[in-house]
Structure 1
Amino acid sequence: MHTTIEPGILYFGTPVVLISTVNEDGSCNLAPMSSAFWLGWRCMLGLAAGSKTPQNMRRTGECVLNLPSVDLVAAVDRLALTTGSDPVPPMKQRKGYRHQPDKFAKAGLTEIASETVAAPRVAECPVQLEARVEAVHGIADDDAILKGHIQCFEVRVQRVHVDPAILMDGARDRIDPDKWRPLIMSFQQFYGLGPRVHDSRLGTIPEAAYRTPDVDRARTAATRLQAAAG
């Protein structure tokens, strides 16, 4: 028998993402979040519209999605309750957030240059996805109170960097899920993945069958960036 409940949140468990963006003054912002999912080389990111990260993404049209492994949990947690916004928005003030101008230093993480965007990558993260903003969608715009406060950013990945240690043996372009241990956020607590519990019939489909034109578009991104800079 199930029980009907009314929890304040429905965060049943998703990967943690560290989004790096560029501020107005050229400095870098780094924000942890976990409302993200991927389809092909596109990612949907749910963000509070008034926060620094979405402001930077709307202005610059780009970001880097850095995926931490479980061993980076302490660094990620050091970013909790910090914001790049100054002054701190009232809603975040009520939740105990404080302004932190140098998020990389606060977390003890290292900036490294990206290849196709101005935002830096996080050197310590095993997965780094350079991305462009393709669309911004309102969430809960049907509600007079929530309208304009939450947005879903559709980003297109145009460069994928991974630690070779998580690649599948003998397959240059495939992540081995038995080696990759992402940091997971579930109901505001950190978790990691356990061992595989069952083989999947979906796993018999070659990954190439899911390939989209975005992969080919990504190959030209660095060339376009170099041409614009030159």
Structure 2
Amino acid sequence: MTHWREVPPSHARQFLEPGPVVLLATHDAGASADNVMAMGWHQVLEFTPALISCLVSRGNHSHALLRRSGECTINVPTADLLDMVVRIGNCSGADCDKFTDLGIEREPAAHVAAPLLPQCHAQLECRLHDDAMVGQYDLFILEVLRIRAATSPKAPQFVHYLGDGQFMLSGKRVSRKRLFKPEMLGI
């Protein structure tokens, strides 16, 4: 017999976490400064154009920077960068220069002013596509302009945030390519 426990609705992310923790980098042209934040609330919305959504709370320094600039990079760290991810999430770019203080590497992007984080497995250059839900929900719809991904490892471990300082690392990968019908995706 299965035993159940009640879980507060605020813990939904423990069961529905859509993807890996990412590092969202922005650039403040007025201050000639870069910022980076850890983010777990994002999802793929469309294939063509490549659209993703991300929730950046207005309490985060990155919210105003993303709103003003209309662009960012989304960098996907691997499990070996977990401590850096936590340190990035534990401080505000309004109070410090995370790149200098935490020793984070950066490189220029090709299509946006926000920097790429070369220590991450993948970097997505993004431009704001739709800001209709930013005012009410802090939800940004971004178009992916370019993706750069490392060639190895082929199957890296990514970090998933479960809330309350708990993380999960992506696990064993399995293939069902022989059963998969890509035409069902409509692309």
Whether 2:54 is the aligned partner of 1:54: answer: no
Q: Distance in 2 between matches of 1:32 and 1:128?
A: 14
Q: Is the 8 A contact 1:45 1:152 kept in 2?
A: yes
Superposition map of 1:1-230 within 5 A: 1-12=3-14, 13=17, 14-23=19-28, 24-39=30-45, 40=47, 41-85=50-94, 99-100=95-96, 102-138=97-133, 148=136, 150-166=137-153, 179-188=155-164, 189-196=166-173, 198-200=174-176, 204-206=180-182, 211=187
Which ranges in structure 2 are unaligned for 5 or more consecutive residues?
none
CA drift of 1:201 comes to 6.4
Q: Is the 8 A contact 1:121 1:128 kept in 2?
A: yes
Change (3 A) 1:208 1:53: farther
**TM-score of the pair, normalised by structure 1:** 0.68
**TM-score of the pair, normalised by structure 2:** 0.83
SS in 2 for 1:155: strand
Which ranges in structure 1 are unaligned for 5 or more consecutive residues?
86-98, 140-146, 168-178, 212-230
Matching residue's letter, 1:161: R
RMSD of equivalent CA atoms: 2.5
SS in 2 for 1:72: helix
The size of the alignment, in residue pairs, is 177
Taking only the aligned residue pairs, the percentage that are identical comes to 25
Q: Is the 8 A contact 1:78 1:106 kept in 2?
A: no
Q: Is the 8 A contact 1:42 1:155 kept in 2?
A: yes
CA drift of 1:122 comes to 0.4
**Bigger-Rg structure (1/2):** 1
Q: Distance in 1 between matches of 2:68 and 2:183?
A: 34
Alignment deviations for residues 73-122 of structure 1 (CA, whole Å, 9 cap, x no partner): 1111221321122xxxxxxxxxxxxx22x112233220101000011100
In the TM superposition, structure 1's runs of 4+ consecutive aligned residues that sit over 3 Å from their partners are 1-5, 198-203, 206-211
